[in-house]
Amino acid sequence: MPVLNTTGVIEDNWVTVEDGAPIPGSTPVVLSWERITAEGEAVLAGNAPRGVVISSDFEVAKLLPLLPRLGLIVVRPNNFKDGRMFSVGRLLRQRYGFNGDLRVQGEFIPDQVPFLVRCGFTTFDVPPTFDIAATQRLLKNFAFNYQTGVADRNIFAMRHGKPERLAGNA
């Protein structure tokens, strides 16, 4: 499946490893939360980056001890109407200070992508039928915002000679 960021389709170096399968030594891998909790340090050891897959109803605070060691967090919403994915993004970025790649995978629609970006998501794992052109148009049309967000270019701040990211947009 293609992976997008705000500029378009990108190469995805992350490999999803199923529970019970061997972990390649030097490849960035994405593991389930269940596997990380069951196997602990054994799956986190090594120099290769690690990622985790969580659902949008996951209790994000459980990730806190692992955040410095994670390079990717994949959020899988239950369906495109599940607004908790937005909250997960804001919590990870603003409250917990996660600086790695934050990806949404599963059911979401192009109209949600600009808002997901504003909540801190950086990449999007999309199905082959996803309208990439529509997503790029939306990102271009909604490049500036009046409200503050995690990652935005604030019109009010720019008009008044302040930094584009207002205080409180950590």
pTM over 0.85: no
Q: Strands of 101-105's sheet, edge to edge?
A: 8-10, 3-5, 123-125, 101-105, 70-76, 50-55, 29-32, 15-16
Residue 166 has pLDDT above 60, yes or no: no
Domain total in the chain: 1
Structure tokens belonging to residue 161: 């000679």
pLDDT at 170: 41
Assigned domain for 164 exists = no
Distance CA 59, CA 33 (A): 11
**What percentage of the chain carries pLDDT values higher than 70?**
81
| Domain housing 106 | 3-142
| Average pLDDT value for residue range 50-66 | 94
Assigned domain for 168 exists = no
Assigned domain for 135 exists = yes
What b/e string do you get for 2-37 counting C-beta neighbours within 10 Å, with b at 16 or more?
ebbebeeeeebebeebeeeeebeeeebbbbbbebbe
| Average pLDDT value for residue range 110-115 | 82
| Average pLDDT value for residue range 30-35 | 95
pLDDT at 161: 67
Confidence label for 147 from pLDDT (cuts 50, 70 and 90): low
Structure tokens belonging to residue 125: 């794992």
